[in-house]
Structure 1
């Protein structure tokens, strides 16, 4: 019988993060335990406690690592394409275990307000808040978009419409629908 190779460093952290996301998907936030995560990651519970004091700390760390980052085109020559790419990144991410864990947190924000606060403070806010904000700020910083147009409403339009269509259609928006969100709502709201 072959003994599995012992994981260390980043390989072990990735396994623990994945185990935490799977555990939330299968058991829910209320039943999330260090024991369950450790068992799923095939490691000792003490390994988890050395790095994360609570399951919520571990979960937030896993979400921070799994949350995608927008990368606007460096040439500042395709705002429309960069916005569509950001919304595509969102729809791809919405199909992941991390998105399911975020949904679990948001669904139970009344039970876990500190966890929700940490989600915003440690995961969403450092990346700009929404999936189009990084692109919009990049273009605004370089004079391509009027910064005064980047309001709490305009920076959420794309994301909000993706969520609305996903709920209404019971599926992810298509590439054409994402382009329509950009062309018919987001760009006009920016005065472009």
Structure 2
């Protein structure tokens, strides 16, 4: 008697598609990835994928995004510097796990494919990461450790930008020493400057 296959739906189907897209990215890179190859790997059809993601770029960024939560929990060590070091470290470890040759390839493709670049910019600009930084900073204000600061959108996402820049320029894992330098020499002075303004 032939084995009947249960039809996947909802979250289970989306996970299968995103996993397949990630595997295809890893195997062939963005330039050679096709919706057809993802559908075959996921055991579904192209129309099913297109109903969820209207183009290859959106599928790729969704697959990438599924590998890392957008908003990590806010650390609470009892000191602003301690919280920032933990926050920067979490970002760095996530980047370490993501910044392999395949991801570098996807980043390279953003320069060749305007639709990917536009989606990437939108994702980076609208990421809710600043809320995590805002929570950490508000706790420091409530403890009397830091004066109130109006955290701009750009200042809120700066920890991610600093870590990403460090990873892209210097490659390899970001050391604890580098994280301490970014916190002590860049981010804490910035926050003090914003408080004065």
Q: TM-score, normalised by structure 2?
A: 0.71
The structure with more radius of gyration: 2
Alignment of 1:27-176 (within 5 A): 27-68=28-69, 69-73=71-75, 77-96=78-97, 103-121=104-122, 123-128=123-128, 133-140=130-137, 143=141, 144=146, 146-147=148-149, 150=152, 152=154, 156=158, 159-160=161-162, 163-164=165-166, 167-168=169-170, 170-176=171-177
Q: Is the 8 A contact 1:20 1:59 kept in 2?
A: yes
Aligned positions, number? 186
SS in 1 for 2:162: helix
Distance change >3 Å, CA 91–CA 27, structure 1 → 2:
same
- Residue 16 (structure 1) shift: 0.9
- Residue 180 (structure 1) shift: 3.5
In structure 1, stretches of 5+ residues that fail to align are none
- Residue 145 (structure 1) shift: 5.5
SS in 2 for 1:147: coil
Task: Report the equivalent of 2:13.
Answer: 12
In structure 2, stretches of 5+ residues that fail to align are none
- Residue 37 (structure 1) shift: 0.8
Distance change >3 Å, CA 79–CA 40, structure 1 → 2:
farther
Distance change >3 Å, CA 152–CA 99, structure 1 → 2:
farther
Distance change >3 Å, CA 179–CA 99, structure 1 → 2:
same
SS in 2 for 1:136: helix
Higher helix share: 2
- Residue 30 (structure 1) shift: 1.5
User: How well do the aligned residues superpose, as a CA RMSD in angstroms?
Assistant: 3.5
Distance change >3 Å, CA 91–CA 100, structure 1 → 2:
farther
SS in 1 for 2:174: coil
